[in-house]
Chains A and B, each alone.
Chain A
Amino acid sequence: MKVPDSAVQITDDSLTIHLTNVPVVDAFTFPPPTQDVPGISPFQLIPATVSFDITYTKTGNRRTIRPGSDDPLSPLNWAGKMWDARNHGTFSVRYNNNSFSESGTFDSVSSSGVNFGEMGTERNGVFVSREEEDGNNDEQEEAQSSLPLKPTQTNQVAATGTAKPAAKWVLLKGRVPVKVTH
């Protein structure tokens, strides 16, 4: 779902999101049945709301991801600079009919180990194919850089962007300001 930019705060090495009363549905199974299936359905959706705060924090070294495939369906057809990330936060959930509610905390680090997470900057789809063709991509520009993700970094990109007023796909080469909330 789309949320206000202000719901997310980005610092040098972390990202925090705060959301309240996000509408969700409880479908009981994943993936959801497409029709009633004995033993799985009846297909039932229960409206609920979830509130949570989560902070993702970078750990370890940067991984520079370059497209590993040109197959648009491949999981490796993207590029970016990613770090492993841990997370922690709080949550609450409530059925809209008030028949069920709970609250608690979560953490990527538990007694059973560390759950996977990651954060960074990335681009996929037309932003990969177009920029790989042009040789104009962040990985080449910053291949040796170890700078962490910073709010000012995205602003800097915007400031040095080369957006052109022409229509069509020229727009894809433009870089728009990314609003960062402190």
Chain B
Amino acid sequence: MRSKLGYLLFLLLAFSVSLSAQIDPIPNLPVQPIPLPGGDILPPYGLFNQFFPGPPNATPFPFDPINADPQGITNFRGVTAMGYTSGMTDDKQFVVITDIRVYQGEYIGGETADAVNTAGATRSAHAHGTFVEI
């Protein structure tokens, strides 16, 4: 049971939470950040709008180049911090691996240009924000 839960926790923190690491729509945010246009193509999923910078020759899964953009948002200028973490649960039963990134700065995103006469068509807008990808 514990090994099953350990696997579960690993997936929760290393995988499914990283799923949220891709910039998703943010409810009620007037200026929506725009995901990177590029990213990694991960079969069978498709294009994941995020790079995974890291050192060369990593195994079993290679990283992107160490100077790959660590951002998840495009049209961004500001502070970026990211890191692959590893650790243990307090009961020493489970290994935890995560990828958590923090961004704070200005960005050009999309806002609704005309909510009355369109379905919500966007226009570019300048905003400031702090974002975290877990």
Contact = CB atoms under 8 A, between A and B. Distances in A.
B12 to A, nearest CB: 5
Contacts of B17: 24, 26, 50
Interface in A129-182: 149, 154, 169, 171-172, 174-179
Contacts of B83: 54, 56, 85-87, 108, 115-118
Contacts, number: 249
B134 A119 contact: no
Interface residues of B, number: 75
B86 A175 contact: no
A42 interface: no
A74 interface: yes
B68 to A, nearest CB: 4
Contact of B19 (A31, A82, A93, A174): A31
Contacts of A75: 38, 51, 53, 64-65, 67-69
Contacts of A3: 130-132
Interface string A23-66: 01111111111100100000000001010101010000001010
A10 B16 contact: no
B75 A50 contact: no
Residue with the greatest number of chain B CB neighbours at <10 A, chosen from A29, A56, A149: A56
Contacts of A28: 8, 11, 15-16
A127 B86 contact: no
Interface in A63-91: 63, 65, 68, 71-78, 80, 82, 85-87, 89, 91
5 contacts: A27-B19, A32-B45, A50-B13, A117-B82, A118-B81
Interface of B: 5, 8-9, 11-20, 24, 26, 29, 34, 36-38, 42, 44-46, 48, 51, 53-55, 63-71, 73-91, 94, 96, 98, 100, 102, 104-106, 108, 124, 126, 128-134
